[in-house]
Amino acid sequence: MIRLLALILALISPGARAFDGTTEFIYDQRLGNQVPLAARFHDQQDKLVTLGQELEHRPGILILGHYHCRSSCGPVRSDLIKALSRLEDPARYSLVILSIDPSETPADARSALAADAAGVDRPGDAANWHYLTGSTPAIGAVAEAVGFRWRFDSDRKLFLHPSGLVFLTKDGGVSSYLLGLGYRPGDVALGLTRAEGDIPAGVLPVLLLRFSRDRGFGARSVNRMLQRAAATTVLVVAAMLTLALRRGPRP
């Protein structure tokens, strides 16, 4: 049995090696952790605010990315906004977008907010959206609290980072994560319900990382990973059943 399991692991190890170098840029899920509510940022109107003020003592959805992102950041926001448009009460939550690029300005945040709000049918939906910029220490404090790992690649002039949402309780506790792209309204609603009830819940860390096109890591890679994992599960179950049948019933 041990030899069989070793063989199965050997069969899937090439897939595991394919992810070498990407594990640095993940969400290290820190359920129950407290975000720094006193951290200070500039909002889209260039007003100095704290993270706590922007959450407004409501359950929150936090997105870390940047406004000049040429890959996943825009789709993350648009996917979420589409899901939020299906919710009946947009006043139940606060949406906080935090740029991880300290060189971005309130003007960049304001432009991104205007572009995102343009696709909203209900005028009041964007009332509780907050697009923030800030200093490296303040950004780092929030990123550390929610387990967000990223790095600027100076060779390719881009940020490497994971994509996803962090749901926060009204007191700024990390409630749950929704990672990757393509958010269903029901999943977003569930995340907010958990945040309202202060219920921590983890997710499977399936990630879509922001890479340039020549070294992409996207839906095809995720599908291959899931297919390989499913095949592995079938092999393990089959091996266990085979072993049990060979042994036969005990006297």
Residues 94-138: tens digit of each pLDDT:
999 999 999 999 999 999 999 999 878 887 788 899 999 999 999
pLDDT digits (tens, 9 = 90+) for 60-89: 999 998 898 876 777 788 889 888 888 877
List C-alpha distances in Å: 25 to 95, 119, 206, 220.
23, 30, 12, 19
CA-to-CA distance for 155 and 157, rounded, in angstroms?
6
> What's the rounded Cα separation, in Å, for the pair 96 and 60?
7
Q: What's the predicted TM-score (pTM) here?
A: 0.70
Residue 166 burial by CB count (10 A; 0-12/13-18/19+): exposed, middle or buried? buried
pLDDT tens digits, one per residue of 227-251: 454 454 445 445 555 554 555 555 5
127-182 confidence digits (pLDDT tens)? 899 999 999 999 999 999 999 887 776 676 677 778 889 999 999 999 999 988 88
Read off the tokens for 106.
Answer: 């309130």
